[in-house]
Chain A
Amino acid sequence: MSYIIWQDIFYIALLIGLSIPLGIYIYKVMTGQKVFLTRVLTPVENGIYKVMGIRNDEQMGAKKYALSVIAFSAICLVFLWALQMLQGILPLNPEGMEGTNWHLAFNTSASFVSNTNWQAYSGESTLSYLTQSLGLTVQNFVSSAAGMAVLFVLIRGFILKKKTTVGNFWVDLTRTTLYILIPLSLTVAVLLTSQGVVQTLSTYKDVATLESGAVQTIPLGPAASQIAIKQLGTNGGGFFGANSAFPLENPTPLSNLIQVLSILLIPAALCVTFGKAVKDSKQGIAIYAAMMILFVVALAATTIFEQFTGPVFNGVAASGSIEGKEIIHGIGASSLWATATTAASNGSVNSMHGSFTPLGGMILMFLIQLGEIVFGGVGSGLYGMLAFVLLTVFIVGLMVGRTPEYLGKKVESYDMKMVCLIVLVPLLLTLLGTAAAVVMPDAASWLTNSGARGFSEILYAFSSMGNNNGSAFAGFNANTVFTNVTGGVIMLLVRFIPMVAAIFLAGNMAQKTMVAVSEGTLSTSNTMFIGLLIGVILIIGALSFLPALALGPIADYLTTR
């Protein structure tokens, strides 16, 4: 057990250590300051603006910014949809994959455009190399870049005074992709190939196995490049169906560490960026701390549940719950990954969540249900968290005898409407999606397990889609018309309603003046506030999901112990 603790401490120290310089770097990129890549990339950036006909000095109001985000994403959605259905007649398809059916194609497009990367398919048996690299990998970049762009807008909303514009979407999108995501992905991809992650355009290989000369087909492909961004961009969609539990996607302990670090790296760094940008590092630290505390508690709980509440077989030494986990990673690294991937809206896996103990699985599910704000998605995690910060400020701020304010901006009814939309939409769609699934007459036939665990499978699936996570409680047959269509719609709504709300929130905030800070102002960076923020997040999450969890993992635990 102690090696697991040391491993986790090492991981967290590394994460914090890397996130600080990266956060400062992102801040510089966001504000257009000079960084070490500026000289190399400026010509490329300007070239892009020129080719695309973008006026990079144009400033957009909230409405135009939101429209740009939506229009861009809509085009991506249609392109990706068409690409999958037509892949059979398109090049770069050595395995001769046929076009996918319309509902799977829709679900996959919605999933990747919304940064969810829910996969109702298995990459190696469904998609061509062209679809993987031109379709999915591109979306991995731009969907996370869009998330970051919207976060930048919200941050600007807090900084700006009496302004009607919040930035330029095309510039934000280009800069985050060019200066942040591409260099980082390149680095990670090279590191991963060094560990043996495949990166090739050649056809699948037939190899003779040790098992009396049986031949096995080993799927290959340009994996490393996609895996790097799948982790960094909190996308999570595996190149192969088994995701990072597959040896060619994640072969060594070091590749495992690099990937699990990449999952939380940018979301954590953005907290530092936030503190820098609002000229008060403590504000960033407070949010970082709240996320970290929730993460550490969840990590400890998952690890403990996996280690100690696994099934006990009489006469066999207790090994913890090892089913569904790779021996190379063991309980510690599997629990760490599982916690990180559900805390962030990543969704990649190196073990099967469906095999976790009831309570261990519940922690993962609950982290998703909190709204993907414990680090969360790139950009979206922090703007979701900021919505909770505003909610906390609103509820407890009144108790100091002033109308609520955050970072000098008054939180008024319009802002509350937007905040409530950001918080409300994922909760509702998760519950409603699950409800819609269970009333389907053949719902039970989609499940591998029955009883409470069966319900957990459905609840997990819709929590995952309803919060743009993308991981699955394996066992649930996701590739049905019903799940593909409702899931696709839910993923899109859950991504874009809060996104647009965040932009409009920023637009409204930017128009306000700053209120002076005094002794009478509620501090939003002290320990008390961090505690209250965590309290509000947990209470909202618990109040919304406790009844459902009682019928799923809790009943599962109580009936099987």
Chain B
Amino acid sequence: MEKKVVDKNIFVDALKQSFVKLAPHVQVKNPVMLVVYIGAILTTALYCLSFAGIKDESSGYILAISLILWFTVLFANFAESIAEGRGRAQADTLRKARKDVKARKLKSADNVDRYTEVLSADLKKGDIVYVKAGEQIPMDGEVIDGAASVDESAITGESAPVIRESGGDRSAVTGGTTLVSDWLIIEVTAEAGENFLDKMISMVEGASRKKTPNEIALQILLVTLTIIFLVVAATLLPFSEFASSQAGAGSAISITNVIALLVCLAPTTIGALLSSIGIAGMSRLNQANVLAMSGRAIEAAGDVDVLLLDKTGTITLGNRQASEFLPVSGVTEQELADAAQLSSLADKTAEGRSIVVLAKEKFGIRGRELSRLNATFVEFTAKTRMSGINYQGIEICKGAADAVKAFVLKKGGEYPDECEQIVKRVAGAGGTPLVVAKNNQVLGVVYLKDIVKNGVKKRFEDLRKMGIKTIMITGDNPMTAAAIAAEAGVDDFLAEATPEAKLTLIRDYQAKGHLVAMTGDGTNDAPALAQADVAVAMNTGTQAAKEAGNMVDLDSSPTKLIDIVRIGKQLLMTRGALTTFSVANDVAKYFAIIPVLFFGIYPQLTALNLMGLTSSTSAILSAIIYNALIIIALIPLALKGVKYRELPAGKLLQRNMLIYGLGGIVAPFIAIKLIDMLLTACGIA
């Protein structure tokens, strides 16, 4: 995250771009600003004509209007350039990572010695390359053999290397990243120009930026308003001509003033800032290390009202921790702790370690040298669902209740009812019971607890206030899931989640009219990701998952979804707020201009000059100077976005209406009056 919104290089570059963008083919893309642009050209022409004696106002006045209009156009260009500039800076960093490297292209995957050296740019889809430690991965691909740690900091900014291996969900590699250890055999899945890094560069640079659906709809509204004001301003020529002939005083208003009025009234503020808002929203997303594949996705994020959140990592801390030893009668807690600790010493899982920690905390049981005990460790497998230790003829095992029960019964022991009760109680409370047995005797249960993250409950409450439902996705059984769901305060949960169940859940919610967001990484998540409205694929995930999603989270953080929703909403709010502000501004501009515009025809209209502006010249100049300056003044807001709070729609609207609606009416009254006083003081009026 960069602290400063704009650094010096971007600023200088944006200044340059402001002039480059004066080219007609750039201006045509923004209809509202095009009107100002044409107005500027026309007034310039009028200024030139004024020397030939053809003039409807004094040359100096026409020049002043013309200059202010040119500045208005430049300010709009500047706003866009500065938003683009931040993206371009990001893109430059990325481009450094994208250099052509020599790749070892293999004839076949089973012989790494038979290769030809080719440039990475010449690789084709389906080619197989061999990469060794210290080398750069030449192109996006799928690992088909080997395992290695890869430094992906060029893309993610995260310096800790990540594991990439064949098979499973961590098989996708990205061109431009570097192997830190070992080797990989990779099948190329993208060609030069269309790989991930290229896509990323063009996205952050805004080069491939298309207008988003809502932006297009808003553009239609802005064009409509502009057409209305174009006709309002243009018809004033005949109207005032007729009125002056009827009144027998004054004359038709000048073309210069018609243009000034039009520019004042057209929604130039939002017209100038609209694309900056879009680009800035995208770059806020990039700063959160999320890459949206389309602008549509970021808008959909604002609309999302159902979040599917993975339990692990989002709601609970990554791993379960031992929190209690619950012995059966006849066994002391310490005995149980001792046995459990012994069986966990060689267990490298987080659960195992937490048992050792708990035993030390509670009873001061220290680590023992396993080799001294002449012990062998029994590793956990999915089949036995137990782990344990054998030493000096003693077998200690710990594991899932039914697995241990079977083990004890087989050994001729008994499985006490009491143990069954404890197991049920623990599971009912959302924990995972781990039964410990020594030979054929059940000692008791270790209570493994899912630790709900700090503050998630509050977070979900806030989301609920905004009308967003949170749904916890977990592989746990329904009882455990229900307990954790209650503790975390989610609205609903999906227990024993399978990819099919997720897909069905998403479809159900969508059928009820909800928009669903989810995160996924595995290949089996792909159908659900493709179905979801906002689908965030983890960067560590498979190629299939990344292709199915419409966003990629480079940090692979499960909580990212909430940030994405925030950024989406903020983007839409900023757009709405500035549109409202822009339209509300017109009220004051009218009160500045109308009374003085027809002064010559009906001097009595000065009764409407509520602001007490000095003269018609100063009033019109003040209004269009305000009109130009407000663009510059609002650039920081367009880039940062309006302040975002998790509030219900009604409250949000009230707040924003007060600031941007009411503020939009009041602010220009004050500002125009001040500018007018300043102009008067300078003797321009």
Contacts and interface: CB of A to CB of B under 8 A. Distances in A.
A395 B579 contact: yes
B464 A395 contact: no
Contacts of B569: 401-402
A519 B221 contact: no
Interface stretch (A56-64, A225-233, A405-413, A496-504): A405-413
B640 to A, nearest CB: 15
Interface stretch (B431-439, B519-527, B593-601, B666-674): B593-601
Contact of A403 (B224, B302, B464, B586): B302
A204 to B, nearest CB: 40
A417 B220 contact: yes
A413 B217 CA distance: 4
A445 to B, nearest CB: 12
Interface stretch (A31-39, A271-279, A433-441, A481-489): A433-441
By secondary structure, the A interface counts as helix
B299 interface: yes
Interface stretch (B124-132, B184-192, B312-320, B509-517): B509-517
A391 B218 CA distance: 10
B243 A554 contact: no
Contacts of A439: 238, 241-242
Interface in A451-469: 451-452, 454-455
Interface residues of B, number: 77
Given A424-B228, A451-B247, A555-B243, A522 B649 contact: yes
B240 interface: yes
Contact of A412 (B217, B465, B607): B217
A411 B221 CA distance: 12
A364 interface: no
A523 B653 CA distance: 10
B587 interface: yes
A515 B602 CA distance: 54
Interface in A534-550: 535, 539-540, 542-544, 546-548, 550
Given A411-B217, A428-B227, A518-B467, A403 B572 contact: yes
Contacts of A399: 573, 576-577, 580, 652-653, 656-657, 660
A262 B549 CA distance: 59
A431 B238 CA distance: 11
B213 A413 contact: yes
Q: Which of A401, A411, A540 is the most central at the interface, judged by chain B CB atoms within 10 Å of its CB?
A: A401
A92 interface: no
A450 interface: yes
Given A403-B572, A532-B657, A543 B224 contact: no
Interface stretch (B194-202, B229-237, B449-457, B551-559): B229-237
B213 A412 contact: yes
A396 B239 contact: no
A513 interface: yes
A520 B467 contact: yes
Given A402-B302, A403-B299, A439-B238, A420 B605 contact: no
B265 interface: yes
A539 B605 contact: no
A86 to B, nearest CB: 38
B246 A454 contact: yes
Interface in B232-263: 232, 234-236, 238-243, 245-247, 261
Contacts of B577: 398-399
B590 interface: yes
B583 interface: yes
A192 interface: no
B648 interface: yes
By secondary structure, the B interface counts as helix
Nearest to B607: A558
Interface string B633-671: 000000000001000111011101100110000000000
A317 interface: no
B257 to A, nearest CB: 11
Given A401-B572, A402-B303, A403-B303, A431 B580 contact: no
Contacts of A515: 303, 513-515
Interface residues of A, number: 65
A402 B299 CA distance: 8
A514 interface: yes
B246 A450 contact: yes
B576 A396 contact: yes
Contact of B649 (A403, A417, A420, A523): A523
A558 B265 CA distance: 25
B598 A550 contact: yes
Nearest to A436: B238
A395 B608 contact: no
A528 B242 contact: no
A293 B370 CA distance: 86
B216 A413 contact: yes
A522 B514 CA distance: 15
Interface in A15-48: none
Contacts of B568: 401
Contact of B601 (A411, A546, A551): A551
Nearest to A551: B243
Given A398-B573, A399-B660, A438 B241 contact: yes
Contacts of A416: 217-218, 220-221
Nearest to A413: B217
A427 interface: yes
A504 to B, nearest CB: 14
Nearest to A459: B239
A380 B457 CA distance: 50
A428 B231 contact: yes
Contacts of B240: 551
B235 A548 contact: yes
Interface in A373-422: 391, 394-404, 408, 411-413, 415-417, 420
A391 B231 CA distance: 20
Contacts of B469: 518
A74 interface: no
A424 B231 CA distance: 11
Contact of A559 (B302, B465, B604, B661): B604
Interface in A178-211: none
A52 interface: no
25 contacts: A395-B221, A398-B218, A400-B656, A401-B466, A401-B570, A401-B572, A415-B217, A416-B217, A417-B220, A420-B220, A434-B235, A435-B235, A439-B238, A444-B245, A444-B246, A455-B242, A520-B305, A520-B467, A543-B590, A547-B232, A548-B232, A551-B240, A551-B601, A554-B608, A558-B604
6 nearest A-B residue pairs (beta carbon): A398-B576, A520-B467, A518-B467, A401-B569, A519-B467, A516-B513
